[in-house]
Amino acid sequence: DLDPNANEDQENELKRMVSYFFEREIKRELLNDPSLIGKTKDVYLTASDDLDQVFKGNYPRDLPEDQRRVTDYQLKIFDQLVELGKVESKFNLSFFTYPDSREAELAGIASSFMGSIFSILVCLMIAFPVAVLAAIYLEEFAPKNRFTDFIEVNINNLAAVPSIVFGLLGLGILLAVFQLPRSTPLVGGITLSLMTLPTIIIACRASLKAVPPSIREAALAMGASKMQTTMHHTVPLSMPGTLSGTIIGLAQALGETAPLILIGMVAFVNTIPGSPLDPAASLPVQIYIWAESAERGFVEKVSACIMVLLGFLIIMNLFAQIIRHKFEKKWS
């Protein structure tokens, strides 16, 4: 209706003004209401990322047409739509429900979000029990000799090792030797669990040390064995500090990028993973991929993804502090 006399080339330019996903959007409208077949209805379609930048005033209109991706004809039609009130800026809910895409207007974080969730779950299931058992043994049962001193020193050193070293370990052992599937949250979770193990062990040992010796002595005086004293008294009293340390370690793992890049989780994945064995990216890696893109539309996607990641990190750290302050025993 805006240009009834448009030729074939101009019609193609009009089609490029909206997202390549517009056919699915129209199909979805028809599936929701089949009575629309044969009728006319106004439907809002997702604009291309270039027109989105034009609408927000971030597009260089003053450049010659041969140096722009938006033609003069497209700008003319778009300005007419704006004057008629046919262009609106809405909250992009699809950013949270769509997987990654080569088109900036269609790209979302659903795939990378699920990849991060699966990776953290695998990391938690491996790192937490191993770290807690190791901390209990070293703190409560291990004899004090040169071997245990050697183990304690190496645990402290591992906590300071750069994360990329654990990525090399995952690449060389998990992928090359054990032939685990590349680019999957399973390999990412195992790699991150190796990285977070020292942090959780140190936090758990510090919590165990904070339990007063009088608790242990009272339990032993009542006839409890060393194992009963540890499992029934010492460990439950140290659990708030252990849990808060675990959450902080998982928050650190959630923000890691280097080890995941080395194990192949930097690949383009446009499907939402349904299990830890499906290929996936992660939120930090998704930020890296979009930041490397030359598309202007991905700049805003990067900012939004960073905000989501920071939000999760803040929530996890607040949750750790709440657990510590709510359940921690105060000893005088």
Match domain 110-327 to its CATH number in 1.20.1440.20, 1.10.3720.10, 3.20.20.70, 3.30.479.30.
Answer: 1.10.3720.10
pTM listed for this prediction = 0.85
Q: What is the pLDDT of residue 195?
A: 94
Q: What is the pLDDT of residue 331?
A: 67
CB-based contacts of 32: which residues, under 8 Å, 6+ apart?
A: none
If one counts every other C-beta atom within 10 angstroms of the C-beta of residue 126, the result is: 17
241-253 as b/e: b if 16+ CB within 10 A = bbbbbbbbbbbbb
* 3 state SS of 310: helix
Q: What is the pLDDT of residue 92?
A: 84
Residues linked to residue 18 through DSSP beta bridges, in sequence order: 47
Place of tokens 């105060």: 330
Q: What is the pLDDT of residue 57?
A: 83
Place of tokens 């890296």: 288
Q: What is the pLDDT of residue 284?
A: 94
Q: What's the full length of the chain, in residues?
A: 332
Question: Can you give the pLDDT of all 332 residues of the chain as single tens digits?
Answer: 567 777 888 888 888 888 777 667 777 778 888 888 877 777 777 888 888 888 888 888 888 888 888 888 889 888 888 888 888 888 888 899 999 988 888 899 999 999 999 999 999 999 999 999 999 999 999 998 999 999 999 999 998 899 999 999 999 999 999 999 989 999 999 999 999 999 999 999 999 999 999 999 999 999 999 999 999 999 999 999 899 999 999 999 999 999 999 998 888 888 999 999 999 999 999 999 999 887 778 888 999 999 999 999 999 999 888 888 887 777 66
Domain definitions of the chain by residue range? 8-90, 110-327
The phi and psi torsions of 91 (rounded to 5 degrees) equal: -65, 130
CB 260 within 8 A of CB 193: no
